[in-house]
Amino acid sequence: MKRHPHTGQLDGLISKQPRLCDEKREDSATGGAEGGGSHVAALILARGGSKGIPLKNIKMLAGVPLIGWVLRAAIDSKVFDSVWVSTDHDEIEKVAKSWGAKVHRRSPEVSRDSSTSLETIQEFVSLNPDVDVVCNIQATSPCLHPYHLTQALEMITKQGYTSVFSVVRRHQFRWKEVKRGSGKATQPENLDPKNRPRRQDWKGELCENGSFYFATKDLIMKESCLQGGTIGYYEMPPEYSVDIDVDIDWPVAEQRVLRYGYFGLVTPEVVRLMLCKVSGCLTDGRIHLFVSKEDMMSIHTRDVTGLHMLQKEDVEILLLISSKDTLAKLLADKLSQTTGCQVMQVGEDLLNDLQPIVEQKKLEWKDVAYMGNDEEDAPCMNLAGLSAVPCDAPVDAINAAKYTCQHGGGMGAVREFAEHILLQRKKAKSQLEQDRIDRTNF
């Protein structure tokens, strides 16, 4: 297989950041708002001057840059003719391009603290007159899935709506502040206190969750709004309605996205085999030299526990030792005894060495989890259903992995990835069970 000349990814493989292709989008979105052949663009606004969380748009959330979550969903939906990031910041531009997006460098006039989203979108549309429908996707909505966008766009392309935006249903009683002298008075806005409804008897209210806004070009440019004409709403379940505004939102969003986030086109139903590089993943890559001329490598007990967690769930583990790693080769037996895992020596062409192993075990790569720490691991990480690197891995390896650990090599990264694998297995099994129940009820 050959590498793509610009992205460095292997052609034909699915990576963490799928390339934005120039092919026509799927038929479900053709026809457009104004007839066949109209151009539908996704636009993510990502200014560099965030005040609440500096550069939050590219801050790592659950192993992925925040903006990467929505870019992956937009590109994998295959309903957009182009996917763009509007920014004024070099680092955000670099991340956006690495995830397959085009970049609109916004002008200083729409990059101020006082600039509105509408002004930025209008600038984009005026510079891209071929665009007929714009989907403004909020970068801080990491639980967005491709089908959310597909179904919402169909409301415009097939049902005749002029604008469609995402909402979540809330069951919250609202009270309005009333200023009376120095006291704090209030009055109800959406309930009668004498006849408070039970939750099950109240449909609740539709609230914007800010995840996305579809609008036609005419509405944006002539009416100067994103919600107008024939307005439709797309209701998202509460578990997918995640927004990040201030620091306190971050840990909550991280847990939510691990459970409900979209991890790409390849999601394994059950990981059955874990392939893990020893040097740089299970160890920190360092060799300790002593006066007695003995060498030493260290393994964190937390990582060994992570391996045992996978084994308890019937995940087979194969530890990979590079043919260049002399010390690790000498310690192969010790590694096997310590971890209870099989140890295998591999050459520079990892895919060539490991493909027969996957086939011999009658598995597909979607059933494999792979943890590496260098560019040579990229082909295997691209193919694997789940893949990860420690946080201290080189940039080329990070770009190829689907998950970047918060811990470094030999410092708990393997345990972290093991927990991630088990969480994804739990999610997949839960979804399979729900699908079975749905089919039975149907």
Tokens representing 356? 């027969």
Place of tokens 């306190």: 248
Q: How many helices (H) and strands (E) does the chain have?
A: 13, 19
Query: Among 160, 157, 85, which Cα is nearest to 124's?
Result: 85
- What are φ and ψ of residue 165, in 5° steps? -135, 160
* Residue-by-residue pLDDT tens, the chain, 442 positions: 333 332 333 333 333 433 333 444 544 333 334 445 689 999 999 988 766 677 889 988 887 889 999 999 999 999 999 999 999 999 999 999 989 999 999 999 988 888 899 999 999 999 999 999 999 999 999 999 999 999 999 999 999 999 999 999 999 999 988 876 667 788 899 988 989 988 888 899 999 999 999 999 999 999 999 999 999 999 999 999 988 877 788 888 888 887 788 877 655 457 899 999 998 899 887 766 555 656 566 788 899 999 999 999 999 999 998 877 766 666 777 788 888 899 998 988 999 999 999 999 999 888 899 999 998 998 999 888 889 999 999 988 887 888 889 899 999 999 999 998 888 777 766 655 544 444 454 4
Which residues are CB-contacts of 193 (< 8 A; sequence separation ≥ 6)? none
Name the active-site residue from 3, 196, 286, 436: 196
Cα torsion for 383, 384, 386, 387, to the nearest 10°?
A: -80
What is the CATH number that goes with domain 27-172+201-260? 3.90.550.10
Phi-psi category of 224—alpha, beta or left, where left has phi over 0 and alpha has psi -120 to 50?
left
Instruction: Classify burial at 271, counting beta carbons within 10 Å of its beta carbon; exposed 0-12, middle 13-18, buried 19 or more.
Output: buried
- The ranges assigned to domains in the chain are 27-172+201-260, 273-431
Q: Do domains 27-172+201-260 and 273-431 have the same CATH topology?
A: no
Q: What CA–CA distance (Å, rounded) separates 204 from 377? A: 50
CATH topology (fold) of 273-431: Rossmann fold (3.40.50)
For residue 85, the cross-strand partners are 44, 103
> Residues near 349 by Cβ (< 8 Å), separated by ≥ 6?
none
Give yes or no for a contact between 82 and 102, defined as CB atoms under 8 angstroms apart. yes
- The identity of residue 213, as a single letter, is Y
The residue type at 117: S
Q: Is 199 an annotated catalytic residue?
A: no
